[in-house]
Structures are given as C-alpha cells and as structure tokens.
Amino acid sequence: MDSTTDEILQRLEALERRLAQVVVRGRIHAVDPTRGLAKVEYGAEGQQQTTGWLPWKPQRTGKTITWSPPDIGEGATVISEGDLTLGEIIPGSYYDQFPAPSANPDVHLTRYADGAIEQYDQSGQTYQLLLPTCGTVNIVAKGGVTITGDLTINGNIKATQAVADKV
C-alpha cells in the first residue's frame, strides 16, 4: 500500500474508535457523591472496561435543583464527543437487577432504597406517600396548612396546642 492509503486507513480507524465512544452503555461502577462524579463499567462479559471519573447529568441544576446520586449497579449511558475522558453519564436504564417499578403509563412513581414510595396515579387521581414502618412525615409551613376536603385519621392525634372542631 502507498502512504496515502495508509494515511486514509489510519484516519478511518481513528474515526471508528471515536464513533464507538460517542454513546456507551453500561452500569455504574463507583460513585463519589462529594464531587458529583461516577465511573461506568461497560463492554462485553469478560472484556469489561471502566471509565475514569465522569460527572453525571442531574435532572435539574438551575433555580430548581434536584439531588439523586446514581446507585452502584444502576444502568447508565455515557455520552461524549468520541473521547470517554470528556464524557457525561446519563444514569437510569432499566434491566434485570433494576427493573421498572410499574408498567402503568398513568403512574409517576419514585421508590427509594428503604422501601418508601411516592406515587401519583393520574387516571385514578390518587397521590400516595408510603413510608417504611418507622417512617415519619414532617411538614413545616409557618404560614399554616389548609386541607380542603374530608379528613380521615386512622390513629391518635397529638397536639401541643388546642384542637377545635370550629374556629
């Protein structure tokens, strides 16, 4: 082969390597929540590789901000411009170890590691907050709390001030 052909083949191989690293699917291998970084293990069984520390993409980071670090073993996708050292992790891919928590398209659901579930069913117009046995709910609203509608309480009521049926 002549030098032009060699050069074209080398450039083609370099492009193929970059293209193979634009979108990489794998699983979270390690998490550093203090720095907001994680590593992703990817590749075929027996040939896995692990990325360096990369930032994960949170749901929101502006005036409204969310915090939910990825879990080790969670499915993830790394996107880059062809260089995994400059990639970003998009956490969250369902698979055997982490299956979808519902098959209902009308349900918005968050399930936490301790078993707590926050769920809204838009077809049933029902909001549920289910906490583990010893879970508690604290509501802090210095301006007050208003409940419009009937109230059912299955349990005791404790109050530090007077409780009245009419004010």
Helix (H, G, I), strand (E, B) or coil at 87: coil
Quote the CA–CA distance of 91 and 107 in Å, as a whole number.
21
How do the domains of the chain map onto residue ranges? 3-91
Residue 109's pLDDT band (cuts 50, 70, 90): very high
Residue 17, pLDDT > 70, answer yes
Q: Tell me which architecture the domain covering 3-91 has in CATH.
A: Beta Barrel (2.40)
Whole-model pTM? Answer: 0.80
Residue 167's pLDDT band (cuts 50, 70, 90): low
Residue 128, pLDDT > 80, answer yes
Residue 2's pLDDT band (cuts 50, 70, 90): confident
CB 107 within 8 A of CB 120: yes
